Amino acid sequence: MGRYINLGNAGFSSVRKGLYVDKSEMIAFINKTLGTTDKLTCVSRPRRFGKSFAAKMLAAYYDKSCDSRELFQGLDIAGCSSFETYLNQFYVIYLDITWFISTLGNIKETVKYLQKEVIKELQEVFPTARPECNSLPVMLANVNEATGDKFIIIIDEWDALFREAKDDVDLQKEYIQLLRGLFKSSQTDKMIEAAYITGILPIKKYGTQSALTDFREYTMLQPKKLAKYVGFTEKEVINLCEEYSMDFEEMKKWYDGYSFNRVKSVYSPNSVIEAIKTEEISNYWTETETYESLKVYIDMDEDGLKETIIQMLGGASCPIDIGTFQNDMTSIQSKDDVLTLLVHLGYLAYDFAAKSVFIPNEEVRQEFIRAVKASRHTEVAKMILASDQLLRDTLSMNDDQVAKAIQAAHSAGTAPIFYNNEQALRSVIRFAYISCIDKFQEIQELPAGTGYADVVYLPKRGSDMPILVIELKWNKDAESAIEQIKNRNYPQVFDGCGNDILLVGINYDDKTKTHTCVIEKYRK
């Protein structure tokens, strides 16, 4: 076992000892690509979406220096027909690009250092091969010529150099030259059995990066057959919640929201695991990314990005053209480019059918709120801070002030073309009551009585806050909203909960462009 060649299975062994969700069936998919024209695979995912776990799993399975049979017993791959065929049969070269960057004082030396280190190890493992001191691709070709052995190459965070040295064109060209020699040369088919590389962004539009055009890409926009391996599926999360006595509905609210053609409900895996480990539903996104990275893109305010974010904070989906994005963090030319980048970073989810984006869950929504509060869009930040006062006015049953606050939220943040129906009004209400996310669970269209309550804010467990039942009207009056709540007996669903119930009726008059509000305390 070496440092780069055949590391063994210690990495995956550590993964198995922790809380592990079985994603091993992906190995069967990679097995089908071995030695074929589809043998080059690139998977792009946000941070903490299991990229390294999958890379370690593949390394443990293919590495011929160890016996990993026991590690995979009981997992899905063990029941696949190809399991025994390829188990521990190959020389594996495992490269973690972030490790190379972090161990060097000068990032400019990364490519040279990487090649030198791997070549040195190859010379130790294959002493009969002709020595080559400069080029890793040539050294691999020499090994193949001398022994007939082919390699599986796994590169974790392959695009880290482009992110960390985004302005160093010379270093990028040097790196491209290395990748071209490995994956796009006359020797590639002879010396490479397969390659699996992970990154954050897709690769095909990286300008000169023609070295990677032969890779099959699986991204947050098009995960294709690998969709169920992007994160945790709903069935997997349900099983985890049952096993560890966690509240599934809370887990879904906080960590679900990513959706693909093949899998409609995908959860942020790291956050689910952390919630189970700590036995607490909370925001774990801040442990993987700070809101500073999000704030940078929000501050660009390309083509009215501010209004789009306000609408999404209110629960709306916004149309997007993903075709203009150049798959890097520097060539941002439009609002659509920013939104597409945020999909790849995990901050937004993409609706394939509607071609629109939205904030996927409560965890990410809180990150947006933090980022907006700290951004240069002071008017939006003020609106979010004003939500605290709105909640206080609601609890104090100050209906005139509530109506004024809703009016301000509408006027400041939503384009008139969007604000044209009751659904749009609901989005503004959700945005205006952003402060509720810390103290309440928000439920839309709650089945209650003989109908569906528009918006309900249910106090979190153990809280003595009142339940807020909000009914919306369009071109009618706030009193009729209150009457509907009573007539359809929406509050009956909360019988026995012990909390007070406030009924909130809100109406928008399309002719006068004004909001009215009536608040009552519910009495049985």
Query: Where are the domains positioned within the chain?
Result: 10-218, 230-287, 291-374, 387-521
Q: Domain 10-218 carries which CATH code?
A: 3.40.50
Question: 40-44 and 216-218 as β-strands: parallel, antiparallel, unpaired?
Answer: parallel
What would the two tokens of residue 219 be? 């991204």
CA dist., res. 143 & res. 146, Å (int): 5
pLDDT average, residue stretch 298-314: 75
Dump strand ranges (E) for 179-272.
192-199, 216-218, 232-233, 266-267
Please give the C-alpha separations between residue 344 and each of 46, 218, 295, 328, 349, in angstroms, as whole numbers.
6, 11, 16, 10, 9
pLDDT-wise least confident of 189-203, 357-371, 372-386: 372-386
Contact yes or no for 315/437 (Cβ under 8 A): no
Residue 454 vs residue 331, higher pLDDT: 454
> 376: pLDDT confidence band, cut at 50, 70 and 90?
low
> 451: pLDDT confidence band, cut at 50, 70 and 90?
confident
Phi-psi region of 29 (alpha: psi -120 to 50; beta: other; left: phi over 0): alpha
- Side by side, the strands of the sheet bearing 514-521 are 440-448, 451-459, 467-474, 501-509, 514-521
Contact yes or no for 184/214 (Cβ under 8 A): yes
Q: What rounded mean pLDDT belongs to the chain? A: 88
Report the CATH fold assignment for 387-521.
Answer: Trna Endonuclease; Chain: A, domain 1 (3.40.1350)
CA dist., res. 483 & res. 488, Å (int): 8
CA dist., res. 518 & res. 506, Å (int): 7
pLDDT digits (tens, 9 = 90+) for 263-291: 999 999 999 999 999 999 988 876 555 55
pLDDT average, residue stretch 354-358: 93
At which residue do the structure tokens 């605290």 appear? 388
Give the residue ranges of DSSP H helices in 280-398. 291-298, 305-313, 335-344, 362-374, 378-395
In this predicted structure, what is the pLDDT of residue 498?
Answer: 84
What would the two tokens of residue 4 be? 């780069």
Contact yes or no for 486/469 (Cβ under 8 A): no
Please give the C-alpha separations between residue 270 and each of 156, 195, 292, 363, 368, in angstroms, as whole numbers.
17, 25, 20, 12, 19
Phi-psi region of 304 (alpha: psi -120 to 50; beta: other; left: phi over 0): left
In this predicted structure, what is the pLDDT of residue 412?
Answer: 64
Q: What is the pTM of this model?
A: 0.82
pLDDT at 327 over 80: no
pLDDT average, residue stretch 34-48: 95
Please give the C-alpha separations between residue 482 and each of 51, 256, 457, in angstroms, as whole numbers.
51, 33, 16
Please give the C-alpha separations between residue 152 and each of 148, 184, 408, 473, 503, in angstroms, as whole numbers.
14, 15, 59, 62, 63
